[in-house]
Structure 1
Amino acid sequence: MKEITVQELKEKMDAGEDFQLIDVREDFEYEMSNLGGELIPLSGIMIESGKIDKNKPVIVQCRSGKRSAAAIMQLEGQGFTNLYNLKGGMLAWAEEIDPEMPVY
């Protein structure tokens, strides 16, 4: 499974690179804090897979990287090859990029 660090994600955001960010956490988690990605909770990732771009890099994120890894494994089974797991998820983002971000 391909991974990307929070530092690499921040660089891509700052550079305005073209990629899709998918957040697989639950609604209440997303409302607490998010990175502006599209919310598709893990439980619905296969039903909503049509919303995921196959033609550009897609970064999948969650709280710690575990649910996003599970989502990627499911999606790769459906033929996706352009997925990257955000290593450490929101916890790493809060620790390394934005210490003011609320996490639980």
Structure 2
Amino acid sequence: MTEAQHKSANGECPMCGTPISFFRANFKRGQPFACNACGKRLLAGKSSVRPAVAAFALASYLGKEFGFLAVIPVAMLLVVYEWLTVRVTIAAHEQTAIDA
């Protein structure tokens, strides 16, 4: 493995610095995808549990105090936070051996 395979970045390609799209950061986690600019295969890390728990607690409190519509901004902020802080690494090439 080269040094480039160990690189990672928050919300962008570790090779060229191109930002990762919202869709890929939030719905394609754990699945390799290609960078739109340089074509390098990347992998977005899984979601963290801590921000989700904090957002759930805050949404529960706001929902009781101000009603259901107060929960929507908390959910939106959580999604944006996850998008901006997603850890992107270079995907390792998986080689499979076919038994003949």
Larger relative contact order, structure 1 or 2 (CA cutoff 8 Å, min sep 6):
2
- The TM-score with structure 2 as length reference comes to 0.25
- The TM-score with structure 1 as length reference comes to 0.24
Larger Rg: 2
